[in-house]
Amino acid sequence: MTPRTAAAPRRRGRPGLDLATVLERSVELFIERGFDGTSMEDLARHLGISKSAIYHHVSGKDALLGLALDRALSGLEEAAFEVRSAQVSPAARLELLVGRSVAVLVERLPYVTLLLRVRGNSETERAALARRRQIDRLAAGLVQDAVDSGELRPDADPTRTARLLFGMVNSLTEWLHPGSTPAAGELADAIVAIAFDGLRTP
Amino acid sequence: MTPRTAAAPRRRGRPGLDLATVLERSVELFIERGFDGTSMEDLARHLGISKSAIYHHVSGKDALLGLALDRALSGLEEAAFEVRSAQVSPAARLELLVGRSVAVLVERLPYVTLLLRVRGNSETERAALARRRQIDRLAAGLVQDAVDSGELRPDADPTRTARLLFGMVNSLTEWLHPGSTPAAGELADAIVAIAFDGLRTP
């Protein structure tokens, strides 16, 4: 599917940006150009402040990446934590994980988008990938439990099924636009309807 | 899901690489570092040849990107062309498009991976996105036809459903490894089973 091109309005020359704004606008540029393709000079220009004004908040580009990835991961981890303790059947827990993950993705779209682009090129990136793998394992475990409980088809390979299901969830980052996004609940329902009940007319 | 990190073996100092090899190994680096984060110097170092040896084949980095994206797009376009003329029902055509797209993705994995990372940062990238949109429209049209024929559920919004279905297909690039990939047919069957028949036990 066709990804959006980043074209955020630029507010140049604003002094005294707070860390939240620096982070938000840096992530815009990381998504547009790639993290490795963005220099501190690029960030300063995009933010309309000096490099030293950025260093006032953080030690550098990598620290901004770490904060951004944590923003995505902490949301997804909270969702996983909630789901793990829900007193419902395994398949219902898996549905809940889809719903909560979509909600985090919509609410923290640029941060999750950035997380999904991380390839392990630095210690910060590798730490983020390790946290992602934990969540992936939970998802595969839920599929396994739901197969064992007889709710899901026995031929559903847990790891592959979890990958495909959350591949569909994560693909939302390719076409959702920040600010003009359908309700997360509606998107989650569409995904659950496809993956759990299938597209075919019964 | 957790993406692979590129760690291809390096063959330094080999003179006289042909264009196919230059292209293949350049794409490795574009995927590892991002296209914008890769310089001609980086490419020359990774390939173990001089920059002028690269210029012997192509006019520059952007030309390599264009060739790589065309490799992915021509495969996907051929698949779309085949599917359009298949003498089967609309839902079967949609299944066929999933199957043929997965086959192209597996066969040309690095090239499709690169295509999916393109954000429209240059004329070459925008041209590739325009070609992708054509294929997306075909997919949405097939969903519409299959809803109209009564094969797919009437509440399946064509554009959204096509995006989610091919979001699942494209997510394969996140976890398939070149060279150690399950058979494309098996992967396509797993996707069709989830999307068309659903995970739930009937």
Q: pLDDT tens-digit profile of B123-153? A: 999 999 999 999 999 999 999 999 999 999 9
Beta bridge partners of A152: B200
Contact between chains at A151 and B200 (C-beta distance less than 8 A): yes
Whole-number pLDDT of residue A72: 98
User: How crowded is the C-beta side of B48, counted as CA atoms within 13 Å?
Assistant: 12
> Which of A:178-197 have CB within 8 Å of B?
190-191, 193-197
Q: What is the pTM of this model?
A: 0.88
- What's the ipTM? 0.87
Instruction: Decide if A202 is inside a domain.
Output: no
Å between A58 CA and nearest CA of chain B: 22
CA distance A2 to B132: 7
CB contact under 8 A, B190 and A160: yes
* Alpha helices (runs of H) in chain A, residue ranges in sequence order: 19-33, 40-47, 51-55, 61-84, 90-107, 109-117, 123-148, 158-170, 184-192
B71-118 confidence digits (pLDDT tens):
999 999 999 999 998 999 999 999 999 999 999 999 999 999 999 999
pLDDT value for A79: 97
Interface test with B, best of A5, A199, A201 (most B CBs within 10 A): A199
Residue B202 belongs to a domain: no
A35/B164 Cβ within 8 A:
no
pLDDT at A12 (0 to 100)? 45
What are B152's strand-pairing partners?
A: A200
| A101 plus A166 within the same structural domain | yes
Evaluate if residue B171 carries a pLDDT over 90: yes
Asked if residue A4 is part of any domain, the answer here is no
Residue B199, CB half-sphere, CA atoms under 13 Å: how many? 28
Candidates B131, B168, B170, B187: best to mutate against A (most CBs of A within 10 A) is B168
Which residue do the tokens 């399950």 mark? B182
Task: Assess if residue B12 is contained within a domain.
Answer: no
Cβ-contact B140, B162 below 8 angstroms: yes
Q: Are residues B74 and B27 in the same domain?
A: no
| Cβ–Cβ < 8 Å for B190, A164 | yes
Evaluate whether residue A75 is within a structural domain. yes
Q: What is the DSSP string of chain B?
A: -PPPPP-----TT-----HHHHHHHHHHHHHHH-STT--HHHHHHHHTS-HHHHHTT-SSHHHHHHHHHHHHHHHHHHHHHHHHT--S-HHHHHHHHHHHHHHHHHHTHHHHHHHHH--S-SHHHHHHHHHHHHHHHHHHHHHHHHHHTTSB-TT--HHHHHHHHHHHHHGGGGT--TTS---HHHHHHHHHIIIII-SB--
Q: Which pLDDT score, from 0 to 100, does residue A15 have?
A: 52
Same domain? A40 vs A99 = no
Interchain proximity B1–A166, CB inside 8 Å: yes
Q: How far apart are the first and last CA of chain A?
A: 27
* Residue B105, in any domain of the structure: yes
Q: Which residues of A55-85 are buried (b: 16+ CB within 10 A; e: fewer)?
A: eebbeebeebbbbbbbbbbebbbebbeebee
Q: B174-201, pLDDT tens digit by residue? A: 999 877 778 999 999 999 999 999 999 9
- Alpha-carbon gap, residue B1 to B106, rounded angstroms: 17
Q: How far is CA B169 from CA A14, A105, A130, in A?
A: 43, 19, 24
Q: Which domain holds residue B28?
A: 19-58
Residue A2 counted as domain residue: no
**pLDDT over 50 (residue B11):** no
Q: Which residue of A has its CA nearest to B127?
A: A2
**Number of domains present in the structure of chain B:** 2
In a domain, B8, yes or no: no
Please state, in angstroms and rounded to a whole number, the distance separating the CA atoms of residues B72 and B74.
6
Residue A11 DSSP one-character state: -
Residues B82 and B176 in one domain: yes
In eight-state DSSP terms, residue A152 is: B
Q: Which of residues 49-88 of B touch A (CB under 8 A)?
A: none
State the CATH number of the domain containing residue B81: 1.10.357.10
Q: Is B69 left (phi over 0), alpha (psi -120 to 50) or beta?
A: alpha
- 């085949």: which residue's tokens? B82
Q: What are the angstrom distances between the C-alpha of B13 and each of B28, B49, B61? A: 17, 6, 20
Residue B36, chain A, CB below 8 Å: the answer is yes
Report the pLDDT value the prediction gives residue B202, as an integer from 0 to 100.
85
**Are A51 and A84 contained in the same domain?**
no
| Tokens, residue B48 | 């173990």
**Across B158-169, average pLDDT:** 96
Distance of alpha carbon B156 from alpha carbon B161, whole angstroms = 6
Per-residue pLDDT of chain A (202 residues; tens, 9 = 90+): 444 444 444 444 445 789 999 999 999 999 988 898 899 999 999 999 999 999 999 999 999 999 999 999 999 999 999 999 899 999 999 999 999 999 999 999 999 999 999 989 899 999 999 999 999 999 999 999 999 999 999 999 999 999 999 999 999 999 998 777 789 999 999 999 999 999 998 8
Residue B178, pLDDT score:
76
The CATH number covering residue B53 comes to 1.10.10.60
Structure-token pair, residue B31: 């995927």
A196 vs A156: CA distance, rounded Å: 11
Half-sphere exposure of B162 (CA within 13 A, CB side): 25
